Amino acid sequence: MVTTTLHADGSYQRQEKLTMSSLNGSKGFNAYFHFRAEKDGVKYEKALEGDQPKLTITRDGIAGAKEPIDLEVVGENNKPLVSSQVSVGKQADGKILYTERLRWLGDPNVFNLEEYFADQRSIRAALPPAYRSQKTVVALTGASSELMNGLLLGPPKPYIVKAMLNKELAKVELLDAVTAFLEEHKQSWLPGITQEQETQLARSLLDIYVYKDLGKVDKSKPSQTGEMQMLVPLAYVVKAPGKVVQTNGTVSKDGRVYWGLVPLATAKHDIVLSVLCDPG
């Protein structure tokens, strides 16, 4: 978990808590993460949480300073999968802007074009005949793919593991999210679509993106640590002074802003987490 505590003058404290499964503890944190060396104000604290090794890395940051990359999640052969870079600045009106850019450094073809065109064909077939124009198919494929990426991989929260722990609940919740998405876009892409057609299309989109592949999975294959790292849950938390004016994260009742995601969420494009706060 990466926690950034912003101060009213735009300076901040950064804390990265890294945990490892006790089974993998012998490999050391460097096998899973790249992080800053313990110098120039960067402090380490090692501990055990239950039987899990934990490393807490703390440093202070100055408003507006250009910071190097704090953290990388590492995949196969110790190659980085995703990098995380923070920027905090005080604006002319006194508000503080926090941004965190997450960038994919892994295989650029992890989502390939062949898959995209296969999705296009499936979506064309799922649409009622009156809506099968290339323009509609392209627009719906692009937007629904983005939607499913966010829903399953985050931010704001990765649904993917939860969906497998309780498939029946996931079906209802994902269907609700896809139905709400179609409701929002139907005026522009699917004018006049009936309720029944819309429900059927929502179910088809879930089949295309989630369910039709589950049956093909070979569960007998052993897991690869490098591959598993693509799905390691990442959490970012910001404690902001004063009032949160704008954010793309979730605000808790006590005012913390948070995001959850897995590294694979960044594979299509950078993800930028942001908070604008008014310290008052």
Partner 1 sequence: MRLFLALLALTGVLSGCESVTAYTKIESDGSFVRTVRYSQGEGSSPSLSDFQRTFYLPQNHPGVSYRLGKDDKEPILTTSRRVSAGHPMPADIVLNDQSHKPIVQCQVVVQKLADGDVAYDETIHWLGPQQDVAAGSVKPMSAILDKVLPDRYRTKEYEDKVGRAMAKVLLQTLFGPPYPHILDAVSTPDLFEIEMSDALQKNIEGPLKEIFPDMSDDERRQVMESLLKLNQEDLGKLAQGTDKPHDASANSMGARAPGDEPSLLFVVKPPGAVVETNGTVTSDGHVYWSLYKQALPYGDVKLHLVAHVGGSK
Q: Does 210 bind partner 1 (CB under 8 A)?
A: yes
Amino acid letter for position 157 = K
Closer CB to partner 1, residue 164 or residue 245? 164
Q: Does 203 bind partner 1 (CB under 8 A)?
A: no
Dihedral sign from CA coordinates of 84, 91, 244, 156: negative
Amino acid letter for position 249 = G
In this chain, which stretch among 71-79, 90-98, 123-131, 178-186 interacts with partner 1, using CB under 8 A? 178-186
Q: State the nearest-atom distance from the C-beta of 92 to partner 1, in Å.
A: 32
Among positions 33-92, residues that touch partner 1 (CB under 8 A) are: none
Among positions 98-117, residues that touch partner 1 (CB under 8 A) are: 110-111, 115
> Pairing mode, if any, of strands 71-74 and 234-239?
unpaired
Dihedral sign from CA coordinates of 154, 224, 21, 46: negative
Map tokens 């930028």 to a residue.
272
- Count interface residues toward partner 1 (CB under 8 A): 58
Among 11, 99, 120, 199, binds partner 1 (CB under 8 A): 199
Burial of residue 169, with CB atoms counted within 10 A of its CB: 0-12 exposed, 13-18 middle, 19 or more buried: exposed
Among 4, 83, 85, 179, binds partner 1 (CB under 8 A): 179
Q: State the nearest-atom distance from the C-beta of 93 to partner 1, in Å.
A: 29
Please compute, for residue 1, the number of CA atoms within 13 A of its CA located in the half-sphere on the CB side: 8
Dihedral sign from CA coordinates of 146, 148, 152, 157: positive
Angle made by CA atoms 271, 272, 276, in degrees to the nearest 5:
160
Phi-psi group of 64: left, alpha or beta (phi > 0 → left; psi -120 to 50 → alpha; rest → beta): left
In this chain, which stretch among 20-28, 39-47, 78-86, 164-172 interacts with partner 1, using CB under 8 A? 164-172
Q: State the nearest-atom distance from the C-beta of 197 to partner 1, in Å.
A: 13
Among 46, 188, 218, 280, binds partner 1 (CB under 8 A): 218
Answer yes or no: are the C-beta atoms of 267 and 110 closer than 8 Å.
yes
Question: Within 10 Å of residue 187's Cβ, how many Cβ atoms?
Answer: 10
Residue 221-240 contact track with partner 1, rule CB under 8 A, x = bound: xxxx--xx-xx-x-x-x---
Q: State the nearest-atom distance from the C-beta of 270 to partner 1, in Å.
A: 18
Phi, psi for residue 219 in degrees, rounded to 5: -80, -5
Residue ranges binding partner 1 (CB under 8 A) = 1, 17, 110-111, 115, 119, 145, 148-149, 152-153, 157-162, 164-169, 172, 175-176, 179-180, 183, 195, 199, 209-210, 213-219, 221-224, 227-228, 230-231, 233, 235, 237, 252-254, 256, 258, 260, 264
